[in-house]
Structure 1
Amino acid sequence: MASVRQVQVTFDCAEPERVARFWCEVLGYVVPPPPPGSASWEEFDRSLPPERQGSAFACQDPDGVGPRLFFQRVPEGKVVKNRVHLDVRVGTGLRGDERVAALEAECARLEALGARRVQLLRADGFDESCLVMQDVEGNEFCLD
């Protein structure tokens, strides 16, 4: 039986580069080098047929540990809650007020990048506190 060695997370969106650059800032990811033969992503994009220009973008963990994120343009807008979302782990090992303070600090940083705060879910005796947010196109994610 084959084993999976890598995972890529794909986002449907209207503006792939904008959303990718947001997630680069959130996660400390980088834009990968352009394909061989292109000096930049802009040059590569201009070489595509007009209908394909701006249709995709990606970012990756500079250390190669986290999954690659791929963003593809789709014609329809977001309509319902995501079935899958990212948890950005900023409160690992923290509890109570210390955890909430870490979540709030990261929330403020991400709001400055264009994210939107949705709801703080307080610890309930089973789960620790987390903060539900939306990225620049409304995709849900959690600060955990």
Structure 2
Amino acid sequence: MNDTYSVSIVRLYADKDGESHFSDESLPLALAEFAPPAPAILFWCEVLGYVAPPPPEGFAGGDDFNRTLPPKQRDSWFACSDPSGAGPRLYFQRVPEGKVVKNRLHLDVRVGPGLVGEERLAALEAECARLIPLGAVRVRLLPADEENESCLVMQAVEGNEFCLD
């Protein structure tokens, strides 16, 4: 059985006093059909340097916990987060409908902030070379213009496009 999964990003924002908070809103991203969700989850964890949360108390690992769930709930969700706490938490969740439109959310992976010209291109190419063995596909280079620096459009293992920026 192939299932479609969505991922939600819980956003961090600052209030009027400068205090940081996580929003309750989430942004859905429909992923192409795959089963189980592991390939996409492992891909995005590696791309972003994210980690899985520890298993619930009393379980040696997530697989042990997963086996205790009713069959329809197994492999139905997964969360991962930035170990530094700076980035948003990603929550992958099985959804009943398949992907029917272009990306519902486009992620930019920041690899060259502040870099320009050849130095920026070298950083983008190095990250591209790291991601291809993980299953990413290079789609095209968007060269710098009067308003924007160069970025690389990539395709993730589940088919959604993202940019190395």
Q: Secondary structure at the match of 1:6?
A: strand
Q: 1:1-144 counterparts in 2 under 5 A?
A: 5-7=21-23, 10-13=28-31, 14=34, 15-144=36-165
Deviation of the 1:82 alpha carbon: 1.4
- Structure 1 gap ranges (5+): none
- Aligned-pair identity in percent equals 65
How high is the TM-score relative to the length of structure 2? 0.77
- Calculate the TM-score normalised by the size of structure 1: 0.88
Distance in 2 (CA, whole Å) between partners of 1:10 and 1:27 is 18
| Equivalent-residue separation in structure 1 for 2:98 and 2:161 (angstroms) | 14
1:110 CA displacement: 0.5
Helix, strand or coil: the match of 2:153?
Answer: strand
- Would you say how many aligned residue pairs link Structure 1 and Structure 2? 142
Give the CA deviation at 1:10: 4.9
CA distance in structure 1 between the partners assigned to 2:133 and 2:150 by the alignment = 22
* Unpaired runs of at least 5, structure 2: 1-14
Comparing both structures, which one devotes a greater share of its residues to strand?
Answer: 2
